[in-house]
Amino acid sequence: MACASFTKLNAASSQWIGQQPFTQRRGSSTTRRVSVSIRAKAYTDELVQTAGLVPLPGSNNESWCQGLDGLASRSAEYYKQGARFAKWRTVVSIPSGPSALAVKEAAWGLARYAAISQDNGLVPIVEPEILLDGDHPIERTLEVAEKVWSEVFYYLAQNNVLFEGILLKPSMVTPGAEHKEKASPQTIAKYTLTMLKRRVPPAVPGIMFLSGGQSEAEATLNLNAMNQSPNPWHVSFSYARALQNSVLKTWQGRPESIEAAQKALLVRAKANSLAQLGKYSAEGENEEAKKGMFVKGYTY
């Protein structure tokens, strides 16, 4: 949905929506006006800092994330423009290995970005996305996730990043999207929380999960299952497709559908807000929300 449409959401939206991301391409006056309007409605600006994924030489056809050059000056400027959070997304592919080189490159890049962001007053959102691609079991995802987050926190510490001043945006621990057996929300919650408790210090204040191609309903149910027991961190969501899919299908670029799309957004936002409290019920969930959104080799 066009960013300008977010500014028309009614006052109830601030109950469920607290953050709006922007890319680095924000030079227009329209974008600046939207930013000011969002801050006035108690949302918080989040800036996507990466310059994109490119092939990683010497790896198993894997990628690394560029964008560290000039990051300090960009961060300082974006802070002046009102940004208070930054996001750096890199990816790890299980079918490709992952190679030790790819994991180390992902972890080091995230750590340097986090240190630079904190030095310029921004809260870094740390996101090494472990892609859903593959037919591996959930145990293999757990193994890779533990390795990735071990490396990430090792290099965060090496770069003197303040753990209390970061947020994490991890993938949930699930089987590969092409695995023959699907896991229940309770199983996904068990494996995901096991990984987090083994690798993430309790000093980290918040875990904001990505959806990664799960259906809207799956992402909400899995989050809800993780909040059925106490956790040392706030466990919440930072979804893209799992928050926007129904909205975009409702809107379809039609001005006359904006109000209906806003209502669809609030339905999903409220559902996930309840899930972060462990109080979500799937009763009455529509069929569209149950449709998976996995796309093999998906990029954005």
User: Known catalytic residues?
Assistant: 127, 169
C-beta separation of 86 from 120 below 8 A = no
The 8-class DSSP code of residue 63 comes to E
Beta bridge partners of 172: none
Residue 63 half-sphere exposure, CB side, CA atoms within 13 Å? 19
The CA angle 183-220-271, to the nearest 5 degrees, is: 155
C-beta separation of 43 from 20 below 8 A = yes
The 8-class DSSP code of residue 178 comes to T
What beta strand segments (E) does the chain contain? 19-22, 44-48, 53-55, 63-65, 85-92, 123-130, 167-168, 206-209, 234-237
| Coil vs helix vs strand at 162 | coil
Which residues are CB-contacts of 183 (< 8 A; sequence separation ≥ 6)?
Answer: 138, 174, 175, 191
The residue whose two tokens read 């006006």 is 33
The CA angle 224-147-277, to the nearest 5 degrees, is: 15
Q: Compute the distance between CA of residue 149 and CA of residue 101 in angstroms, rounded to an integer.
A: 14
Q: Where are the alpha helices (DSSP H) in 57-184?
A: 71-81, 100-119, 138-158
Handedness of CA 19, 24, 25, 27 (dihedral sign): positive
